[in-house]
Amino acid sequence: MVSETQINLSSTANNSTSPSLVCSVIQPSQLVSFNPASQLSLKLNGSTNYSIWKAQVTTLLFVYDLIGYIDGSSKCPAQFIIENNLQLVNPNYKLWQRQDSLVCNTIMAFVNHSIAPIIAHVVTAKHAWETLQTIFASKSQSRIFGLREILANLRKETRPVANYMKEIKTIADDLAYSGSPLTNEELVIKVLSGLGPEFKEISAAIRARDNPISFEELYDKLLAHEVFVQYSEPKAVAPVVTAQFNQRVSNAQISQQRNYNNVGNQILQ
């Protein structure tokens, strides 16, 4: 920031003076610059994080009353003014151009190095903003639709509970990163709707709860129920062994009968 006015506020209580508070008041004629490293940690990488990146940048510009430089509400003043029949350069025009350049440079600093060349030759911050929106906004929406469709069709089937819920959490994280986060209730409903019949009882109990269950608590309960179901299933090992034993006995009897037949044939000859 080029310049700022500081106001010291102090108060006295119980004959003691509290520390002074310093407030910065931004004047209309001041230029505002940003520190990309400290004010925005997330850079635009593409359509995968465009929505959340856009939200961060617009919030920052709104705080400094600079949102008009990207949405077009802040119009560029006339380049010249007439005073005493003389044509002079409008100082507001120069100020606007300088501030617009700072906003444009800020946008460029907040994108990945592979994206920066796309807006390297734009004239205004609004042009840079609209260029990025045209390229990445539609792709971001397509990605969100695709992720939500994958999530809607996801089922546990024969996979372990841990793998099933991990895949759901991964998709949910991708949706949040794309600017379309799921609520905890949506996550829980999705998990329960994709379970098999062996989870019917616990699913009904969770749905009947008065208090909502968190995703983490649901994970623990389903893991415990999965272990319970596995140890409750009857073992089918013994019948298999018996069947194998019977098969071996039958094969031995057939072989022995063939030997008897061969011996009998030799005697008859």
**Predicted pLDDT of residue 131:** 95
User: Helices 125-152 and 50-63 sit at what angle, rounded to 10 degrees?
Assistant: 140
**Predicted pLDDT of residue 179:** 82
CA distance 148 to 182: 10
Q: Which residues in the chain show pLDDT less than 50?
A: 1-28, 243, 245, 249, 260, 263-269
For residue 170, give both structure tokens. Answer: 């991964």
**Predicted pLDDT of residue 258:** 54
CA distance 232 to 242: 22
Q: Are 175 and 240 in contact (CB under 8 A)?
A: no
Q: Are 106 and 94 in contact (CB under 8 A)?
A: no
**Predicted pLDDT of residue 146:** 93
Paired sense of beta strands 86-89 and 5-9, if any: unpaired
**Predicted pLDDT of residue 7:** 32
CA distance 48 to 176: 10
* pTM of structure: 0.58
What are the residue boundaries of the structural domains of the chain, listed by start?
49-139, 154-231
What DSSP designation does 111 have? B
**Predicted pLDDT of residue 5:** 37
**Collapsed DSSP state (helix, strand, coil) of residue 9:** strand
For residue 142, give both structure tokens. Answer: 């397509």
CA distance 218 to 203: 10
**Predicted pLDDT of residue 137:** 87
**Predicted pLDDT of residue 12:** 36
**Predicted pLDDT of residue 40:** 76
Handedness of CA 234, 240, 245, 246 (dihedral sign): positive
